[in-house]
Amino acid sequence: MNDPIAIARNSILVPAGLDDHHLDRLLGLLAGSHLDAADIYFQKSRLQSWVLEDGIIKDGNFSIEQGVGIRAVSGEKTGFAYSDELEYPALAQAAEAARAIARAGSEKRVRIGHVQAQRRLYEPIDPLESLPDEDKVDLLRRVDAEARRQDPRIKEVSASVVAVQDTVLVLGDDGTLAADVRPLVRLNVSVIAEDQGRREQGGSGGGARTDLGWFLVEDRAMEFAREAVRLALTNLEAEPAPAGSMTVVLGPGWPGVLLHEAIGHGLEGDFNRKGTSAFAGRVGERVAAPGVTVVDDGTLPGRRGSLNMDDEGTTTQSTVLIEDGILRGYMQDKLNARLMGVKSTGNGRRESYAHLPMPRMTNTYMLAGTRDPREIIASVPRGLYAVNFGGGQVDITSGKFVFSTSEAYLIEDGKIGRPVKGATLIGNGPDVLTRVSMIGNDLALDTGVGTCGKEGQSVPVGVGQPTLRIDSLTVGGTGSE
Amino acid sequence: MSITSTEDTAERLARLEQTIEHLLAEAKRLGASAAEASVGSSAGLEVGVRLGEVETVEHTRDNGLGITVYFGNRRGSSSTTDLSPDSLRAAVKAACAIAVHTQEDPCAHLADAALMAHGMLDLDLYHPWPIGVEEAIAIAAECEDAARAFDPRIVNSEGASLSAHSGLQVYGNSHGFVGGYPSTRHGLSCAVIGEEGDTMQRDYWWTSARAAADLEPARLVGERAAQRTVARLGGRQLGTCKAPVLFRAEVATGLVRSLVSAISGGSLYRRASFLLDHLGERLFPEFMRIHEEPHLPRGLSSAPFDSDGVATWAKDLVSEGVLRTYVLDAYSGCRLKLPTTGNGGGVRNLVVAMGERDRAGLLALMGTGLFVTELMGHGVNAVTGDYSRGAAGFWVENGEIAYPVEEITIAGNLKSMYAGLVAVGNDCDFPGSTRTGSWLIDEMTIAGQ
């Protein structure tokens, strides 16, 4: 069985005794004459995780979350109720609570819509069953051995592997009937290196919307282990980072978290409809240097941030945010698109049935330029080369954003020099990209580790970029020069 | 939100306790040598008002259970949101299936039976707020109105929201311990946007309490949000320099959190802490005391027992500047060959001893330096104590606020920041389970232009 709608019906609706007649009635309850939109979101999420610590498989967990979220929208007002009970009376009660947002209208007959043709960016598989449990724990043991084998200074290794199957079914009073079965796998390695009383941590990992076999090909899992070790050992040598404003070269791939924080959040439709973003009302204006093109693309096959459809049933797309330095558009969900008089861009996402959807990023990245990355480094007399980052954060109203390095080096006379300790970089979203002076030809996406938080909701995302030279950015170290 | 009477609550508690007993019995039937389980159920109402209009009305209702089974020293766990009998059996089976593949871990066992809490303390945590949607909207609107009317430079709003929640939590294990209690938590928050020239600033304020009567008045919450927002307008960068830094009280809680994380068992046995082997050592100046009060009546994180069922007790984490205890649960304690400190699930209500000075007194003591009111980002390295975060606040000259500053970072190392603590104020003025005044640190590196 390979059809998402059929999988969703069989795994969520059938066990709760729900049929099309019930769904019609629920939509009818919601579709009172004073509502602009209503939808019902069924979800069943299965997760299995394994943890290795101290060389042994220490823990494992299996969890199931399921429920339904019912939303009724009238103008800018949203009524929302959710239930983890799926029997019809509980659903009808939730629908009544949600629709109380609007003045009572007469019940309307609404029929559930027709299934729309589906794209396949990933297969509707069950990644939990994609490897025998013995092989999952064996994979972690091999990761542990690989990390320890690299260097005697590695004192602690922890590793985890997680597989999730998320099945969603969306019904809307606009005729939406859509389902998606979303696999997601993730492997993480974290090590502690110790030398002469000094201790440093290194971490690596990756993931994708596929099965667990993904970690076994191209030696991926072992590569993550070696990368975690390399980072920890590099940081053992690191000196305090410099403090002050300087030229910063960002490496390719994960440093694209810059784009996510500096401009991505500020271009989400809700903040712009409300006029609370530093980017509000600036479509058509220059917000980046010529040559800078940034997209949000939910359609990359198998990527962690990709979705066949968003959580409102809208097919995802590639949306141009900045084109050759000019701000082109925002990311939208249905509510904000309707209120702004545009179409949803397929960015309506929610953490789960217990949360309301809002505009969220998918995979956000900058297109490649033409410069050889070596040429970019060589162009900098003195600056910082930052290649790995921890998390970031942005204040979308003031536009100020930060992100913290986990691997960085000084650039001295055009050459990569000594490693420096984690430093937070801070800048202003609407102007940081105007200071991009060189764009590399080495576009890379991250390894599939990103999780984005907004208003208490977490969703998986991707980022990417080529090597970039930014002429001036504030670096928050403790070192003098 | 459904309004529940005390009788209903007692009945529902009894039902959840029964669920725990079923789970433990099922684990035993499947051959587990020991097991522990927790079940929770909560309901709430959240309303949001923006620019005087209702924006969201959310009815929340959450259930969940988690079970851990032990086969000797191997364990497995599972969780679900579905509390039906079939689902319970499936959850226990899934946990047992996990335990087939985990390995012998000498510390994988329940906490010592003698440490279990007995006689359930009443910590006065349950004050249901039977508020209707209309009334909730009116309170949120009053809050936002007060913020928007506060100053003409307040030009936009992210709105105000009010929440009222009540829930039940029950834990039990195969020592025969079963304990549970109801609790409530209500809150009101407001965020508004100010404009000056072509720049905007946003700030917020909030109140949170176990009982609605203990919430700050709506008008005050709104005015405070507006006041904080307006104060940030006209912010500029600083030049890169070294200077003393005053962490405003609610921001100083982050320095307490970093301490707690570094002395927590999980960080220590993984050697992922900059405070390994520091028990009994002086971390702060002699005036410093940090006290944990898990039985504080109506405390926002009060609890009679921890996540292992172990009775909680009050204690000093730090006194006379010396680290007096780690923060341990049964597992991490075993790993460190120390007894549990009843901190499974974390610390519960920390009180930092207040000093003599109010905020003006602290600013005067600092003289010239940075007064930090907001921190951004994740630049705290738990392994090394290296600290580098985005900051906003005010530049202070001769004890007086000179102008707002933004787009700067502050950096140092937590160990030297703790040792360089000059004073703690008596200006605790925010809600939360950590009570502290502002912290004055002798010197940090500020990076700007």
Separation of alpha carbons B321 and B323, rounded Å: 7
Nearest CA to A91 among A37, A35, A42?
A42
pTM exceeding the 0.90 threshold for the entire prediction: yes
- pLDDT, one tens digit per residue, over A118-175 is 789 999 999 999 999 999 999 999 999 999 999 999 999 999 999 999 999 999 988 8
The DSSP call for residue B368 is S
> What number is the average pLDDT over the span A294-311?
98
Contact (Cβ atoms closer than 8 angstroms) between residue A32 and residue A104 = yes
The pair of structure tokens assigned to B342 is 């009843």
Extract the tokens encoding B144.
């936002």
Closest Cβ opposite residue B81 in set A65, A422, A428:
A65
The CA-based diameter of chain B, rounded to the nearest angstrom, is 72
Reply yes or no on whether the pLDDT at A31 is more than 90.
no
- A127 touches A135 (CB < 8 A): no
Task: Report strand pairing: A318-323 vs B154-173.
Answer: unpaired
Which pLDDT belongs to residue A32?
Answer: 66
Question: CA A356, CA B376: separation in Å to the nearest integer?
Answer: 25
Reported as a pLDDT band with limits 50, 70 and 90, residue B4 is very low
Handedness of CA A474, A475, A477, A480 (dihedral sign): negative
**Strand segments (E) across B290-364:** 290-292, 315-319, 322-323, 350-352
Residues 25-64 of A with CB under 8 A from B: 50, 53, 56-64
Is pLDDT at B3 greater than 60 in this prediction? no
ipTM: 0.94
pLDDT at B20 over 50: yes
According to DSSP, residue A285 is labeled: S
pLDDT of residue B120: 81
pLDDT grade, residue B2 (50/70/90)?
A: very low
Residue reference for tokens 């404003």: A245
Instruction: State how far the Cα of A400 lies from the Cα of B407, in Å rounded to an integer.
Output: 6
- In this prediction, residues A339-358 reach a mean pLDDT of 97
Q: Please state at what angle helix B218-232 crosses helix B133-149, rounded to 10 degrees.
A: 40
Contacts of B383 in chain A (CB under 8 A): 192, 199-201
- Examine the pLDDT at B7 and tell me if it is beyond 80: no
User: Nearest-5° angle of CA A96, CA A97, CA A101?
Assistant: 100
Q: For an interface test with A, which of B42, B50, B59, B161 has the most A Cβ atoms less than 10 Å from its Cβ?
A: B59
DSSP A86-109: -SHHHHHHHHHHHHTTSPP-----
Tokens of A378: 């060589």
Q: Which residue of B has its CA nearest to A55?
A: B103
Give me the pLDDT at residue A109, please: 59
Look at residue A99 in the predicted model and tell me its pLDDT: 87
Please give the Cα distance from B110 to A384 (Å, whole number).
50
Whether residues B63 and A84 touch (CB distance < 8 A) is answered with yes
Distance from CA of A412 to the nearest CA of B (A): 20
Would you say the C-alpha torsion A416, A417, A420, A423 has a positive or negative sign? negative
Q: Which amino acid is at A421?
A: K
| Residue at token pair 């240097």 | A289
Alpha helices (H) along B100-156: 133-149
Q: What is the DSSP letter of A132?
A: -
Quote the CA–CA distance of B61 and B43 in Å, as a whole number: 4
Closest partner residue to A276 among B193, B382, B392, by Cβ? Answer: B193
Instruction: Compute CA distances A420 → A411, B195, B275, B378, B387, whole Å.
Output: 11, 38, 22, 17, 14
- Of B195-199, B372-376, B429-433, the range with the highest mean pLDDT is B372-376
Query: Residue A190: pLDDT above 60?
Result: yes
State the average pLDDT for chain B. Answer: 96
The per-residue pLDDT of chain A, averaged, comes to 94
Q: What is the spatial distance between Cα A392 and Cα B388, in angstroms, rounded to a whole number?
A: 12
pLDDT tens, B253-298?
A: 999 999 999 999 999 999 999 999 999 999 999 999 999 999 999 9
Residues B173-226 have pLDDT tens digits of 999 999 999 999 999 999 999 999 989 999 999 999 999 999 999 999 999 999
DSSP bridge partners of B235: none
Give, as one character, the DSSP assignment of residue A256. G
> Using one digit for the tens of pLDDT, what is the confidence trace for A404-432?
999 999 999 999 999 999 889 999 999 99
* Residues B132-186: tens digit of each pLDDT: 999 999 999 999 999 999 999 999 999 999 999 999 999 999 999 999 999 999 9
Contact B447 A400 (CB under 8 A): no
Query: What pLDDT, in 10s, does the model give residues B339-363?
Result: 999 999 999 999 999 999 999 999 9
Nearest residue of B to residue A354, measured between CA atoms: B60
- For residue B50, list chain A residues with Cβ-Cβ distance below 8 A: 76, 274
Tell me what pLDDT residue B79 has.
97
Predicted local distance difference test score (pLDDT) of residue A479:
81
Q: Which of B57, B88, B190, B329 to mutate to test the interface with A (most CBs of A within 10 A)?
A: B57
Residue B230 has pLDDT above 80, yes or no: yes
Task: Give the rounded distance of the alpha carbon of A275 from its chain centre.
Answer: 24
Touching check for A92 and chain B: CB below 8 Å?
no
Read off the amino acid at residue A278.
Answer: A
Tokens of B133: 């949607």
Is residue B32 within 8 A of residue B69, CB to CB? The reply is: yes
Size of interface A-B (CB pairs under 8 A): 240
Chain centroid to Cα B199, Å, comes to 32
What pLDDT is attached to residue A210?
Answer: 98
pLDDT at B121 over 80: yes
State how far the Cα of B208 lies from the Cα of B183, in Å rounded to an integer.
13
Quote the minimal CA–CA distance from A119 to chain B in Å: 31
Residue to substitute from B58, B201, B334, interface A, most A β-carbons within 10 A:
B58
Q: How close is the nearest chain B Cα to the Cα of A301, in Å? A: 30
Predicted local distance difference test score (pLDDT) of residue A36: 87
